[in-house]
C-alpha cells in the first residue's frame, strides 16, 4: 500500500459535498445540536502568491475594495449565523485561517478581531478562561503592526508556513521567499509575544536531501517553537505542481522518519503523523473535541460541522472559479441557509469518530466510543487488515497506531472512507 494517498484532516472530504436541495435554514440545522463547546473558524481567502503545492480556497492580488466588501459580507453572515445559533451557544476555541489572514492590513485585522470578540464575548463559557485564538500567517505578512493587533485581541497561537529554510527548495515548491524574510518574521513573532508558535515545514521537495531537511528543522528549532508540523509534499490537480511526474514515496518516507526521529530526540512529543509538540509548553489549549463538538465556519471557503450536516460554500482551486465564488459571496445578502454540504448518517458519524481519533497518537478511547454510540468500535469496523500489517495496537481500553501505523496515516485514513463518500469524491468535477 502506497503511504501517501491523501491527508485526512476532516471527514467526509469537501469533494463529497454537493448542493443541498432544498437548502435548509440554518436555524433548523442547529436547532437540536449540542452548542455548549463550539469551534469558531473564520476563513480569509486571500494570499500574496499561490504556492505550487496549495489547493486551499484562496485567490491572489485582492484589491482593497474587495477585502472591504469581503469583511462587509462576513459581518452579514456572522449576524445571520449568530441568530440561527441562538443565545445558548458557547465557544471554546477560535481560529483565523485561509488563505493568509494576515494578508489583511492592520486596520482590517482590527475589524476582523472586533467581529470575533463580539461573537465570543456574547457567549462566554461560564468560569472558563478566554477562548484560545489561533491565526495563520506567512513570512511576508507577519509584520509588527499586524501581529500587535492580533496580540491586543488575545491571539494565543500563531502558525507560520515556512516550508523550507533553503531558498532553492522554496523556489522548487513554487514558494519563492528569502531566508532573511523568514528570519525577520520569526523574530518579530517572538518579540511581539504569543504563547504558542507553530512552524510548518515540507519534505519531498525536488532537490531536497536528508542533510538539507535536517538543516531546515534545526533552523526552525532556533526559535524553540511550541509546535512543529512536518508535511509531506503532495501534488494535487490544478495546483502549480500538478503536472509533476514520478514517484517519490521512498524519498518522502525516508525524510519523514528522519524528521520524526530528530524531533523526538530533541524532546518533542508526536501528536499525529504531522504534528509535534513541546511538552510542558502549554500548547494545545481549548476544550473542543473534534470528534463530537460542532464547528461554526464563517467566510467563503469555511466549513461548518453539526452532528447531522456538514456544510459550506462552493469549493474550487482554479483561479477563475475561485474569484467567481468570492464575487458571489460578497454580493450575498441572505446567509440564513446552508447551500452545499453532506448529510451525516449514523454510520458516517461513527466513521468520522474513528478517523478523528485513530489518526492521533493517543488513539481511540473505546469506552468513549461505546458511551457515544452504544457499540464497540471493533464490532462496527473491521480493522484486522491494519493490525496484520503491524499498524494497530489493541487493548481493552484503546486502539492506537504503532509508529509504523502513524507513518502510514495517509494510506490508512483514505482506506477507512465509506463507499458512499469514495463514490462522491470519484465523481467530483475539479474546478
Last residue of a domain, one of 277, 294, 328: 277
Output b/e per residue, 248-286; b: 16+ Cβ within 10 A.
Answer: beebbbebbebbbebbeeeebebbbbbbbbbeeeebebb
Q: Give the mean pLDDT of the chain.
A: 92
User: Crossing angle for the helix pair 210-221 and 249-265, nearest 10 degrees?
Assistant: 40
Strand pairing category for 398-401 and 392-394: antiparallel
Cα–Cα distances (Å) from 227 to 139, 214, 221, in that order, read 17, 16, 10
Kindly report, residue by residue over 326-343, the tens digit of the pLDDT.
999 999 999 999 999 999
Contact criterion met (CB below 8 Å) for 53 and 234: yes
- Which residue, 336, 370, 322, 334, is CA-closest to 350? 370
Residue 149's pLDDT is 97
Query: Model confidence at 128, in pLDDT bands (50, 70, 90)?
Result: low
Which residue among 226, 247, 277 closes a domain?
A: 277
How much is the pLDDT for 123?
47
Does residue 306 lie within any of the structural domains? no
Q: Does a structural domain hold residue 81?
A: yes
Residue where one domain finishes, among candidates 223, 245, 277? 277
The CATH number that applies at residue 376 is: 1.10.10
Q: What's residue 235's pLDDT? A: 73
Residues 233 and 364 in one domain: no
Place of cell 536531501: 209
Q: Is residue 428 a part of any domain in this protein?
A: no
**Pair 94, 113: CB distance under 8 Å:** no
Return the CATH number at 85: 3.20.20.70
Considering the domain boundaries, does residue 310 fall inside one?
no
DSSP-assigned beta bridge partners for residue 59:
46
Give the number of C-alpha atoms closer than 13 A to the C-alpha of residue 42, restricted to the C-beta side.
29
Q: Residues 245-271: pLDDT tens digits?
A: 446 799 999 999 999 999 999 999 999
Is residue 338 domain-resident?
Answer: no
355 in the same domain as 230: no
The pLDDT, as a whole number, for residue 345 is 98
Q: Are residues 385 and 256 in the same domain?
A: no
| Same structural domain, 350 and 270 | no
Give the rounded percent of residues in the chain with a pLDDT score beyond 90.
79
The number of distinct structural domains making up the chain is: 2
| Separation between Cα atoms, residue 231 and residue 163, nearest integer Å | 8
Residue 326 lies in a domain: no
CA 95, 18, 67 angle in degrees (round to 5)?
A: 40
Query: What strands lie across the sheet with 398-401, from one edge to the other?
Result: 364-365, 398-401, 392-394
72 and 170 fall within a common domain: yes
Alpha carbon distance 280, 226 (integer Å): 9
What is the distance between the alpha carbons of residues 38 and 119, in angstroms, rounded to a whole number?
Answer: 12
Task: Tell me how far CA of residue 268 lies from CA of 195, 226, 275, 334, in angstroms.
Answer: 17, 9, 10, 47
| Same-domain pairing of 147 and 243 | yes
Query: Does residue 108 sit in the same domain as residue 252?
Result: yes
Residue 285: pLDDT band (50, 70, 90) is: low
Q: How confident is the model at residue 61 (pLDDT cuts 50, 70, 90)?
A: confident
Cβ neighbours for 77, distance < 8 A, ≥ 6 positions apart: 298, 299, 332, 335
DSSP 8-class letter at 124 = P
Domain that holds residue 222: 14-277
- The mean pLDDT of 82-87, rounded to a whole number, is 94
- For residue 331, being part of any structural domain is answered with no
- Cα separation, 150 vs 95, in Å, equals 11
In this prediction, residue 291 carries a pLDDT of 87
φ/ψ of residue 292, rounded to 5: -120, -30
- Does the structure show a pLDDT above 80 at 94? yes
Q: Do residues 155 and 194 make contact, with C-beta atoms less than 8 angstroms apart? A: yes
Same-domain check for residues 34 and 159: yes
Same-domain pairing of 79 and 161: yes
**Do 254 and 377 share a domain, yes or no?**
no
The better pLDDT of the pair 214, 237 is held by 214
- Asked whether residue 18 is assigned to any structural domain, the reply reads yes
In this prediction, residue 48 carries a pLDDT of 85
382 with 245, same domain?
A: no
- pTM comes to 0.93
Same-domain pairing of 379 and 252: no
**Is 121's pLDDT higher than 80?**
no
With a cut of 80, say whether residue 312 has pLDDT above it: yes
Amino acid at each position: 500500500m502506497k503511504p501517501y494517498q491523501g491527508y485526512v484532516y476532516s471527514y467526509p472530504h469537501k469533494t463529497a459535498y454537493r448542493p443541498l436541495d432544498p437548502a435548509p435554514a440554518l436555524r433548523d440545522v442547529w436547532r437540536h445540536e449540542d452548542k455548549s463547546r463550539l469551534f469558531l473558524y473564520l476563513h480569509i481567502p486571500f494570499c500574496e502568491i499561490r504556492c505550487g503545492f496549495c489547493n486551499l480556497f484562496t485567490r491572489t492580488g485582492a484589491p482593497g475594495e474587495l477585502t472591504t466588501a469581503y469583511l462587509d459580507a462576513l459581518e452579514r453572515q456572522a449576524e445571520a449565523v449568530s441568530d440561527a445559533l441562538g443565545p445558548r451557544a458557547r465557544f471554546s476555541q477560535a481560529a483565523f485561517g485561509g488563505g493568509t489572514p494576515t494578508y489583511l492590513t492592520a486596520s482590517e485585522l482590527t475589524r476582523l478581531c472586533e467581529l470575533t470578540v463580539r461573537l465570543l464575548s456574547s457567549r462566554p463559557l461560564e468560569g472558563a478562561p478566554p477562548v484560545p485564538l489561533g491565526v495563520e500567517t506567512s513570512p511576508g505578512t507577519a509584520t509588527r503592526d499586524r501581529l500587535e493587533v492580533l496580540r491586543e485581541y488575545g491571539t494565543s497561537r500563531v502558525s507560520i508556513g515556512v516550508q523550507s529554510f533553503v531558498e532553492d527548495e522554496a523556489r522548487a515548491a513554487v514558494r519563492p521567499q528569502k531566508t532573511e524574510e523568514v528570519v525577520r518574521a520569526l523574530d518579530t513573532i517572538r518579540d511581539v509575544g504569543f504563547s504558542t508558535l507553530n512552524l510548518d515545514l515540507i519534505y519531498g521537495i525536488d532537490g531536497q536531501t536528508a542533510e538539507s531537511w535536517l538543516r531546515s528543522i534545526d533552523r526552525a528549532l532556533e526559535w524553540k517553537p511550541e509546535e512543529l508540523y512536518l508535511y509531506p509534499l503532495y501534488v494535487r490537480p490544478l495546483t502549480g505542481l500538478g503536472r509533476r511526474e514520478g514517484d517519490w514515496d521512498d524519498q518522502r518516507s525516508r525524510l519523514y522518519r528522519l524528521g520524526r526521529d530528530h524531533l523526538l530526540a530533541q524532546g518533542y512529543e508526536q501528536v499525529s503523523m504531522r504534528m509535534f509538540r513541546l511538552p510542558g509548553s502549554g500548547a494545545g489549549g481549548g476544550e473542543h473535541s473534534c470528534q463530537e463538538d460542532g464547528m461554526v465556519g464563517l467566510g467563503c471557503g469555511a466549513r461548518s460541522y453539526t452532528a447531522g450536516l456538514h456544510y459550506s460554500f462552493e469549493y474550487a482551486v482554479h483561479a477563475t472559479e475561485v474569484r467567481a465564488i468570492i464575487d458571489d459571496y460578497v454580493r450575498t445578502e441572505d446567509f440564513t441557509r446552508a447551500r452545499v454540504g453532506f448529510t451525516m448518517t449514523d454510520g458516517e458519524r461513527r466513521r468520522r469518530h474513528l478517523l478523528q481519533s485513530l489518526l492521533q497518537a493517543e488513539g481511540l478511547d473505546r469506552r468513549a466510543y461505546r458511551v457515544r454510540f452504544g457499540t464497540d468500535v471493533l464490532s462496527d469496523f473491521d480493522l484486522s487488515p491494519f493490525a496484520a500489517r503491524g499498524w494497530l495496537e489493541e487493548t481493552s481500553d484503546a486502539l492506537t497506531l504503532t509508529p509504523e501505523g502513524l507513518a502510514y496515516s495517509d494510506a490508512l485514513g483514505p482506506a477507512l472512507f465509506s463507499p458512499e463518500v469514495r463514490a462522491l469524491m470519484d465523481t467530483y468535477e475539479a474546478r
